[in-house]
């Protein structure tokens, strides 16, 4: 008990007599752990945050019949079944689409049946002039692409007779809005899915389904879906999924580089400070050795000082790191960053390792001190 009491008294005395040196090392550890914990918190949330950001570019998965299927259509209800495979919190939106050619006066145009209530989720980049009726059961409304509107003079409020040349079915629709996407959609007409199924005599069917899904493991889920639905293929939309993967890889690499730089900077600062303290305490260490202190006990004292600094710096750094993560989240993603418990042990162990490594060179100096030489003043 007396030894432990004396040990803690010496430890406290060391901190009290060298406040400025200790504060420098403590500040370095606080800054290092704050930046690392903040970046790690952001890193854990980056897939979710970036996934939501990329969803503003539209759907990232498409469901179609595979090449072995004799039919180019499938039950639209399959889209709902497949959506149920994903965690529901990861589903931004999905819609089955039915495509066909229809005669509109003297022109032949591509008509797409879709769910209007999913447009804002699947194609949020569309610029829409007018109103969109989000009632799936509503009939007789249409959205017209900007190119079609400009070339053929179709305006909001016009009534268009859509005729399927194969079946002879006719569906009259009223233009409610003009859409501009900068893509092929500008040359198409969009109507409610039930209207398209009736027009093309494809009740309950679709040609493709689009999904906007966040989260990881999409390829594994797609493979599992193909096993359950062997005649269907759930494929990533390369322009979106490819860009998303590349961006996430670059951000991950950047986080790794910054963390390594911060660790090296913290290690250098703490090592320099500890070395300075050893030089200042040469006579004290020599006197302790003369009085019978072993190198093991002296090493334990220095390591304990480094450990206390690491733990105190980690506590303050974790708090600052959490606020730093919120600043990054608000400035970059306009949302908060979730608190991750896994960051605490990871940062604590890292801080202890850095403090331990920073103490290795000073420890060698402690062990190498010759009491006779130092106390003689040489």
Tell me the pTM. 0.62
Q: What is the mean pLDDT of residues 56-78?
A: 82
**What is the per-residue DSSP string for 13-61?**
HHHHHTHHHHHHHHHHHHHHHHHHHHHHHHHHHHHHHHHHHHGGG---E
Same domain membership, residue 115 and residue 17: no
| Number of residues that this document lists for the chain | 378
Q: Any alpha helices (H) in the chain, and if so which ranges?
A: 2-17, 19-54, 77-83, 119-122, 146-152, 193-199, 218-228, 238-280, 282-290, 295-328, 343-358, 360-368, 371-375
Identify the residue with better confidence: 362 or 198: 198
Cα dihedral 226→228→231→236 (10° resolution): -30
**Residue 342: exposure state from Cβ atoms within 10 A (0-12, 13-18, ≥19):** exposed
Whether the per-residue pLDDT at 1 is higher than 50: the answer is: no
Same domain membership, residue 144 and residue 71: yes
Which residues lie closer than 8 Å to 184 by C-beta, 6 or more apart? none
Give the model's pLDDT for residue 111: 95
Q: What is the mean pLDDT of residues 163-175?
A: 91
pLDDT tens digits along 225-274:
878 888 888 887 765 555 566 666 777 777 778 888 888 888 888 888 77
Q: What is the mean pLDDT of residues 142-148?
A: 94
- Domain end: 216, 236, 256, which one? 236
How far apart are the C-alpha atoms of 370 and 33, rounded to whole Å? 36
Same domain membership, residue 154 and residue 65: yes
Q: What is the mean pLDDT of residues 6-17?
A: 62
Q: What is the mean pLDDT of residues 46-66?
A: 72
Same domain membership, residue 79 and residue 11: no
With cut-offs at 50, 70 and 90, classify the pLDDT of residue 4. Answer: low
Same domain membership, residue 42 and residue 186: no
Pairing relationship of beta strands 91-104 and 232-236 according to DSSP bridges = unpaired
- Domain end: 194, 214, 236, which one? 236
Same domain membership, residue 87 and residue 224: yes
Same domain membership, residue 349 and residue 203: no
Whether the per-residue pLDDT at 297 is higher than 90: the answer is: no
How far apart are the C-alpha atoms of 118 and 134, rounded to whole Å? 8
Give the model's pLDDT for residue 12: 63
**What is the per-residue DSSP string for 199-262?**
HTT-TTEESEEEEEE-SS-HHHHHHHHHHHSTTEEEEE-HHHHHHHHHHHHHHHHHHHHHHHHH
Give the model's pLDDT for residue 338: 78
Most confident among 81-85, 200-204, 296-300, 372-376 (mean pLDDT): 200-204
- Domain end: 236, 267, 296, which one? 236
β-strand partners of 180: 127
Give the model's pLDDT for residue 102: 94
How far apart are the C-alpha atoms of 16 and 236, rounded to whole Å? 62
Whether the per-residue pLDDT at 53 is higher than 70: the answer is: no
In Å, what is the CA distance from 186 to each residue of 30, 47, 102, 130, 176? Answer: 55, 32, 16, 15, 15
Same domain membership, residue 148 and residue 28: no
With cut-offs at 50, 70 and 90, classify the pLDDT of residue 210. Answer: very high
Same domain membership, residue 87 and residue 27: no
pLDDT tens digits along 87-124:
888 888 999 999 999 999 889 999 999 999 999 889 88
Q: What is the mean pLDDT of residues 278-303?
A: 69
Same domain membership, residue 265 and residue 354: yes
Same domain membership, residue 251 and residue 331: yes
Structural domain count of the chain = 2
Could you give the percent of the chain with pLDDT greater than 70? Answer: 79
Give the model's pLDDT for residue 85: 85
pLDDT tens digits along 321-349:
889 888 887 877 677 887 778 888 888 88
**Residue 328: exposure state from Cβ atoms within 10 A (0-12, 13-18, ≥19):** middle
Cα dihedral 140→146→148→151 (10° resolution): 140
Residue 66's domain spans which residues? 61-236
With cut-offs at 50, 70 and 90, classify the pLDDT of residue 142. Answer: very high
Handedness of CA 257, 263, 266, 268 (dihedral sign): negative
How far apart are the C-alpha atoms of 151 and 201, rounded to whole Å? 29
Same domain membership, residue 286 and residue 225: no
How far apart are the C-alpha atoms of 144 and 176, rounded to whole Å? 8
Rounded to 5°, angle at Cα 114 from 200 and 189: 70
For tokens 């060391």, the residue is 14
């Amino acid at each position: 008990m007396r030894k432990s009491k004396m040990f803690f008294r010496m430890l406290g005395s060391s901190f009290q007599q060298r406040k400025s040196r200790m504060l420098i090392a403590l500040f370095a550890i606080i800054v290092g752990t704050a930046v690392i914990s903040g970046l790690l918190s952001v890193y854990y949330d980056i897939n979710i945050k970036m996934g939501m950001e990329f969803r503003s570019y539209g759907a990232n998965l498409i469901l179609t019949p595979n090449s072995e299927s004799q039919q180019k259509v499938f039950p639209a209800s399959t889209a709902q079944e497949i959506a149920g495979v994903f965690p529901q919190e990861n589903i931004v939106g999905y819609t089955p689409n039915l495509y066909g050619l229809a005669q509109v006066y003297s022109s032949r145009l591509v008509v797409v049946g879709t769910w209007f209530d999913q447009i804002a989720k699947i194609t949020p980049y569309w610029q829409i002039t007018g109103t969109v009726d989000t009632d799936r059961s509503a009939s007789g409304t249409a959205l017209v692409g900007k190119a079609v509107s400009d070339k053929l003079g179709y305006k909001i409020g016009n009534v268009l007779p859509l005729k399927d040349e194969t079946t002879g079915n006719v569906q009259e629709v009223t233009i409610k809005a003009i859409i501009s996407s900068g893509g092929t959609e500008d040359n198409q007409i969009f109507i409610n899915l039930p209207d398209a199924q009736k027009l093309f005599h494809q009740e309950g069917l679709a040609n493709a389904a689009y999904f906007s899904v966040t989260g990881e493991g999409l390829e594994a889920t797609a493979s599992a879906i193909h096993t359950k639905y062997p005649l269907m293929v759930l494929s990533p939309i390369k322009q979106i999924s490819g860009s998303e993967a590349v961006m996430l890889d670059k951000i991950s690499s950047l986080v790794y580089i910054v963390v390594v730089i911060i660790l090296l900077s913290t290690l250098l600062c703490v090592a320099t400070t500890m070395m300075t303290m050893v030089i200042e305490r040469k006579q004290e260490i020599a006197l302790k050795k003369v009085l019978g202190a072993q190198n093991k006990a002296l090493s334990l004292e220095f390591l304990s000082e480094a450990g206390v600094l690491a733990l105190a710096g980690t506590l303050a750094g974790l708090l600052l790191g959490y606020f730093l993560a919120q600043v990054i989240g608000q400035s970059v993603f306009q949302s908060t960053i979730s608190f991750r418990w896994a960051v605490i042990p990871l940062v604590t162990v890292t801080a202890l390792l850095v403090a331990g490594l920073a103490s290795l060179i000073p420890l060698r100096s402690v062990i190498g001190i010759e009491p006779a030489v130092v106390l003689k003043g040489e």
